[in-house]
Amino acid sequence: MLLARMQTGDSEAFAALYRKYWRRLFDAAYRRILLREESEEIIQEIFVDLWAKRETLLISVSLEAYLFGALRYSIYNLIRFRKIREAYLEHLLQVPGDQNNYIEDRLHYEELARALESSVQNLPEKLRKVYLLSRKEHLTYKEIAEQEQIPVDTVEKQMGRALKILRENLKEFAWAWIVLEMWGLYP
Amino acid sequence: MAVTAPECYYIKSGEVYRRMDKDRLLYLLENDKSGQNSPAEAEELEAWYRSAESRPAFTDGLSADGLSALEDKLFARIQTANAESEEWVDVLPAGKSGWYGWGKIAAAVLFLIVAGLGLYMFQRQNGRITERTGFGETRVLTLPDGSEVTLNGNSVLSYDAEWSELREVRLEGEGYFKVVHTKDHRKFRVRTGADFSLDVLGTQFNVSKRESGTRIVLDEGKVRCNLGDSESDTLVLRPGEMVQFRKKPSDYQRERVEKGLYSAWKDHKLIFKNTSLREVAGILRDTYGLETDSSRPELLDRQISGSVPTDNVDLLLQGVAEASAVTITRDGDQLVIAPKSE
C-alpha cells in the first residue's frame, strides 16, 4: 500500500505516488487555466503539501479523490485571488477551443527536454548512470543499489547530486525562457 | 450558435443558464469559499469546472522526451521544496512549521526601498565593511561566503567583516543578490531598516532602498519578509508577487506583477510597462542623481512602455523622450521636460 508507506515517511512510495498521479493532475489543471507555470506551481504545491502532512493526513475516501479535491481547491483559489489577470480570465472562459497556449507551452517542454538531455550527457559518469536508472528505467533506489552493488544511501546521495547539477542547469534555462518571453512582449 | 460553446451553457430542468463570464465565476467562487452558493449555483460552478474536461489533455501532445522533462522538472522542484521545508522546520522555533515549499534554490527578488534616510545609520565601526556606488555606476561585489551582489547606482551595502551564525547585510539603494546556500543552512538576511528585513536561504534576489517607498518583487523562489520585530509579523512572497509600502511595513500592498520587469537594470536596461514619467523621474533621481523639472507637471502623468538601455544615460533619456513624445533637455544634473516642439 503506497499511501500507507508514504505516510510513514517512505520517500520511494512518495515518488511512486507522484509518478502515478502527476500527469492526470497536470492535465486537469492545464485544461482549466491554460497556463503552464501556474499549472506546475499547483501540482508542486499539492505534492509538497501531501509530503508535509503525511503523518497527520486522514484520507477518508481515496487518495485520488483527495488529490483531485486539492487540485480543485487550488484552481479556485488561483482565480479567486486574482492570480490570473482578469482580462485573461475572460479569454479563458470565452475561447473554449483556443489551442495557442497548448502549442507554445508544449514547445517549452520540448526545449526543456533538449536542455535536460545535454545536461544529463554532461553529468559525471556515476551520477549519470544512477540518474538514468532511476528516471528512465524507473528502478527504485534499492533496486539500483542491488544492481550496482553500492549502498542505498550512496544511491540517494548520487541522485541528490545529479538533481542538484541538473537543477542548476535548468534554472538558467528557465531564466532564459523568461527573458525570451519578455522580449516577445516588448518588441 | 449556442451549441458552439457548450461549456458556457448548461441546461437543467429545462432551463438554460447564462453563459459564464468572469464576474459570474468570481461571484460563484467567493460564495463557494463562504459556503453561500445555492444548490443551483453550486451546480453551475460544478458544471463550469467539469466542462473543461472537453479540452484536450496537454500532455498527450508531448513527445516522450518532453513528457519526461516535465515529469522530472516538476519532481525536482517538489523534492527541493520538501528538503527545504524540512530545513526550515529545523531552523525555525518550535511551533512554526508552516513554511512549506521554499521552492527553488534560486530566487530573484526585486526590492525597491524608500524610507527616509536616517531611518537607520550605517555602522562605521571597526570590522564593518562598507561598499558604495556613485550615480549611474553598477558594481559586482563578492561577499565573504561567496555570495554575489550587484549594486545599482547610488547605493550602499555594509556588513560585518566576520559573520556569526546569521549572514546579515544592510542595504540602502538597490542590489541584486545571488546568495549561496551554506552546508549548515545559515540564514541570509538583508536589512533595510530597523523595521524591515528579508530572510532567504540560498536565493538570488534584487533589493533596493530608495526615497519614495519600499518595493519587493519576487521573480522566482520564495522569500520571507519580516515586517517588524515580532517573529509572527511575516509575509511569504511567491514568484511574480510584489509587495510595497511607503513608510510603515505593516501598511503593505501585495499584487501580481510581470516577472523580470523590475530586475532588468542588472542587464543594463530598464523595462517600462505603463510606467508614468513621474516614476521614471524617481528612478532617474535615485539611481542617476538627475533632478527633473517641468513647467507642465501634467506631462509627468504620461505613461510609457518599452525598454531602454541604461549604460548610456543620454541614450536612456532619448528613449524615454521618444516613448513619451516629450523633449528632455539635460543641463548637468538637471533635466527639463517640455512638450515636444513641432
pLDDT tens per residue across span A63-95: 999 999 999 999 998 888 776 777 777 777 765
- List, in order, residues 6 or more apart from B287 with CB less than 8 Å away: B135, B136, B152, B153, B154, B174, B265
Nearest CA in chain A to B101: A48
Most confident listed range (A56-70, A91-105, B224-238): A56-70
Task: Determine the Cα–Cα distance for residues B179 and B263; give it in Å rounded to an integer.
Answer: 16
pLDDT above 80 for B288: yes
The DSSP H or E segment spanning B61 is: none
Contact predicate B179/B147, CB 8 Å:
yes
Return mean pLDDT, chain A: 82
Residue B111: pLDDT band (50, 70, 90) is very low
Quickly list H helices, chain B: 22-34, 39-51, 64-91, 277-288, 313-324
C-alpha cell at B148: 554575489
Cβ contacts of A18 on chain B, cutoff 8 Å: 75, 78
Cβ contacts of A123 on chain B, cutoff 8 Å: none
Cβ contacts of B176 on chain A, cutoff 8 Å: none
Q: What is the pLDDT of residues B144-161, one digit of tens each?
A: 888 888 888 888 898 888
Residue B312: pLDDT band (50, 70, 90) is confident
Domains (range + CATH), chain A: 1-97 (1.10.1740.10), 99-187 (1.10.10.10)
Distance from CA of A104 to the nearest CA of B (A): 11
Cβ contacts of B29 on chain A, cutoff 8 Å: 76, 79-80
Residue B220, pLDDT score: 67
Task: Determine the Cα–Cα distance for residues B256 and B239; give it in Å rounded to an integer.
Answer: 9
B98–chain A Cβ distance below 8 A for any pair: no
B124–chain A Cβ distance below 8 A for any pair: no
Residue A185, pLDDT score: 30
Cβ contacts of B67 on chain A, cutoff 8 Å: 23, 109
Contact predicate B87/B185, CB 8 Å:
yes
The better pLDDT of the pair B15, B218 is held by: B218
pLDDT above 90 for B89: no
Q: Which residues, numbered 223 to 262 in chain B, qualify as contacts with chain A under a Cβ-Cβ cut-off of 8 Å?
A: 239, 256, 258-261
Between the CA atoms of A92, A93, A99 and A101, what dihedral angle is there, to the nearest 10 degrees?
10
Return mean pLDDT, chain B: 74
Tell me, what DSSP letter sits at residue B340?
Answer: P
C-alpha cell at B45: 460552478
Distance from CA of A5 to the nearest CA of B (A): 17
How much is the average pLDDT of B76-81? 79
A113–chain B Cβ distance below 8 A for any pair: yes
C-alpha cell at B143: 561577499
Candidate from A15, A27, A82 with C-beta closest to B58: A27
Angle at B134 between CA B128 and CA B136, to 5 degrees: 135
ipTM for the whole complex: 0.79
Tell me, what DSSP letter sits at residue B263?
Answer: G
Residue B19: pLDDT band (50, 70, 90) is low
